[in-house]
Each structure stands twice: as C-alpha cells, then as structure tokens.
Amino acid sequence: MSKVLIIGAGGVGGVVAHKCAQVPEVFEEIMLASRTVSKCDAIPAELNRPIQTAAVDADNVPELVALIKKFGPEMVINVALPYQDLHIMDACLETGVHYLDTANYEPIDEAKFEYKWQWEYQDRFKEKGLMALLGSGFDPGVTNVFCAYAQKHFFDEINYVDILDCNAGDHGHPFATNFNPEINIREITQRGKYWENGEWIEIDPMSQSWTFDFPEVGPRKAYLLYHEEEESLVKNIKGLKRIRFWMTFGEEYITHLRVLQNVGMTRIDPVMFEGHEIVPIKFLKALLPDPASLSQGYTGKTSIGCLIEGVKDGETKKCFIFNVCDHAKCHEEVNAQAVSYTTGVPAMIGAMMMCNNVWKSEGVYNMEQFDPDPFMDKLNIHGLPWNVQWL
C-alpha cells in the first residue's frame, strides 16, 4: 500500500483524486496539492474517504521538497501544467520519490514540446534508483500502450500508425477547451508535423485533414497535428514507416480559434496594456470556462484510438484499437467531463503499476516500454474499456 501526492487540482487532478480514492488497497493515503488550495479543498467532499490537501507552488523546488518531506509519499503524480515538469522531477530526485506525468515539458516562453529535456534526467533517476513514467494520460499514454499491445499480440512488424482523437461531445459553450486552455491552444496553433521514412515532415497548422468513421460517433473530419507520443513511438515501435496524429474539431471551434489568432489573443509573448505587461493567451485563459467546470450537462462521447497497419506471418493486417467514453457518465461518476476522465484514469493506473511494482525499473520511461497487458486489464476494470476492430 502506498502514499501518493497528486500535484494540480484542475480537471484532470480532480479525476485522479477520485480514481485513487476508489482503490484504497493500493493508495492508502492521498494528498492533493496545488497552487490554489481552495480548488483542492473542494474535492474531498466529493470522495468516499478522506484525503489531505495542501497549497504548493510547483515552480518552487524548495517548497515542493518541503511538502514531499512532510507528507512522505512513495510517488508524485504530476497533473499540473507541463511548465512544472522539470521542477517536480528535481524535487523528486532530491527527496527520493518516484515521478509520473501526463504531458511533456515545454518552456513557458516557447510553444515547443519535446522529450529531450525529460529524457536528459535518465542517468540521475537511475543513479537514485528512482523511476519516472512520462505521458501516462490517454494521448500520450493509452495510445502508447495500444501500440505496444498491438506489437506484442497482433503484428510481427508495425508499419503505419495513425492516432485518431475525436471528441464528439457538446458542452454548450460557443468556445471552450477541454483541458487547460493555454496548453491546448499552444498545441493546436503550432505547425503540424509527422514522421515518415525516417524524417519529420512539417506542414502548416491544420492544413491536412481526412474524414474517419469513429466507432459510436460516426464520420468526423480530423486534422493533422504534432503530438508528443509520436516522438517516443518512433524510437520504440519496430518497423515503423509512418506515424501521424489526427484530432477532430468542429467548425465553431476552428472559426473562434482563427479569429482569436488573427487578433493576437493567442500570443504567448508579453504586450504592454495600460502600463502593465500582460500575456494575451494567459488573459484569454482567464476569460474562458475552466475545463473542470464543463462537465455539468456535457453530452456526447469521445472516441480515441490507434489505427495500426503491419505484417503478421507475411500478411498485411490493419486494426483500430480504441476506447469510447461518455461525458455524462464521467460526470455522474467523478464530476468531470470525458477529456479529464480519459486523462486521469490512465494517470491513476500508471501510478498503480508503479506502486504495485508491476512496472518497475530505474530511470525515465515512456509507456510503450513496459508490458502492456496489465495496464490494458486495468483499463477495462477502472472505466476505460477498449475494443479492437479489424479492417
């Protein structure tokens, strides 16, 4: 049985707290800490057993170290923002505690995410006998595990992967993001990128699309984006010739985003306004609905999976491994929408794999580097059942 410290009390943090609280035989003691402690304090009333809460600025390593020493967890689940990843990893190294996150580090002043910074911690985690599990959300996270599962059970060699992410839900707002608005908009407005025949190919943002028939949702137009799991899957999946990532967006969303971009509201650099420096995207975040507040009345489903083509016993085969998640059911269970839920459940399962020593190693790892079977079993048990369609 373990003690776990969850950092970040947003949409995803709330789900992680709920899901860890549901498994007392693994997570004996839980602390939820975040910058705004009132957000942490609102969660325990929703749970079936007590958890502790605390205020912490996760950009302040000494403050993190003091909190970790005081609470004494075996591991930290980082569901704050990607900007905090390296600070929390530093604090884990200093206190001898394992680490897990759901999104890779990105510098606050540059919309660029890659694993380079976190992979550089490999030797330090190894030397301390600690493990860091990177990207244990849905995508990255479950999508990496789906690829590892297909590699283990279905194919001798995987040649093509298309990760397809559809949110066909309706939250009733003209424009809102389903996870942190700043991180979401930075991701979507970047140039698109995919990997083919050993090279990364860049394209203009949202300049390639196709219509895919998503299970339980139907045909939806999906746009090519760069997504972080491509970087590790390229290294870890044998025989890969191409990997791409696609996400669906409604016309309303795209129109709002285009206008916001055109008027400069998505800028990440400071501008002077009436004698004050403001960062437009941070101001925009303050105006938009909080992702944690969207779940009431949210209808529809997410349908996310990996379309995988490869060779088995000399024959070409193609399958779609996917999960479908219902917003309203997530709200009913944990007071959250499906995007927070599909991220928070795998974060809890990843932590469970580590606390139970099922996934055990020293150093910094991505999800596809471990045996996928126990994780896939837990997805079925803890609210994200998966399915395979042969095409």
Contacts 24+ apart (CB under 8 A), 316-320: 317/154, 317/155, 317/390, 318/390, 318/391, 319/150, 319/154, 319/388, 319/389, 319/390, 319/391, 320/164, 320/215, 320/388, 320/389, 320/391
Kindly state the smallest distance separating residue 156's Cβ from ligand NDP, in Å. 29
> Which of left, alpha, beta for 309 (phi over 0: left; psi -120 to 50: alpha)?
beta
Cβ-count burial 176-204 (b if 16+ within 10 Å, e if not) = bbbbbbbbbbbbbbeebbbbeeeeeeeee
Give the side-chain half-sphere CA count within 13 A for 382. 25
Nearest-angstrom CA–CA distance, 246 and 206? 10
Structure tokens at 345: 């459940």
> Which stretch, 57-65, 126-134, 214-222, 251-259, contacts ligand NDP (CB under 6 A)?
57-65
Kindly state the smallest distance separating residue 138's Cβ from ligand NDP, in Å. 4
Nearest-angstrom CA–CA distance, 297 and 172? 8
Q: Note whether 387 and 323 are within 8 A (CB).
A: yes
Nearest-angstrom CA–CA distance, 70 and 140? 31
59 forms part of the interface with ligand NDP (CB under 6 A): yes
Kindly state the smallest distance separating residue 198's Cβ from ligand NDP, in Å. 26
Q: Note whether 57 and 63 are within 8 A (CB).
A: yes
Tell me whether residue 108 or residue 328 sits nearer to ligand NDP (CB atom): 108
Nearest-angstrom CA–CA distance, 370 and 367? 6
164 forms part of the interface with ligand NDP (CB under 6 A): no
> Which stretch, 178-186, 203-211, 351-359, 383-391, contacts ligand NDP (CB under 6 A)?
178-186
Applying CB under 6 A, which of residues 4, 10, 98, 322 lies at the interface with ligand NDP?
10
176 forms part of the interface with ligand NDP (CB under 6 A): no
Residues touching ligand NDP, count (CB under 6 A): 35
Nearest-angstrom CA–CA distance, 349 and 367? 11
Mention every residue, 6+ apart, whose C-beta is less than 8 A from residue 47. Answer: 17, 18, 21
Tell me whether residue 12 or residue 131 sits nearer to ligand NDP (CB atom): 12
39 forms part of the interface with ligand NDP (CB under 6 A): yes
19 forms part of the interface with ligand NDP (CB under 6 A): no
Applying CB under 6 A, which of residues 58, 76, 148, 345 lies at the interface with ligand NDP?
58
301 forms part of the interface with ligand NDP (CB under 6 A): no
> Which stretch, 156-164, 264-272, 322-330, 337-345, contacts ligand NDP (CB under 6 A)?
337-345
Hey, which residues between 75 and 94 contact ligand NDP (CB under 6 A)?
79-82, 84
> Which stretch, 175-183, 199-207, 248-256, 262-270, contacts ligand NDP (CB under 6 A)?
175-183
Kindly state the smallest distance separating residue 290's Cβ from ligand NDP, in Å. 6
Applying CB under 6 A, which of residues 73, 192, 280, 291 lies at the interface with ligand NDP?
291
Kindly state the smallest distance separating residue 232's Cβ from ligand NDP, in Å. 12
Residues that bind ligand NDP (CB under 6 A): 8-13, 34-36, 39, 56-59, 79-82, 84, 102-103, 135, 137-141, 179-180, 183, 291-292, 339-340, 343
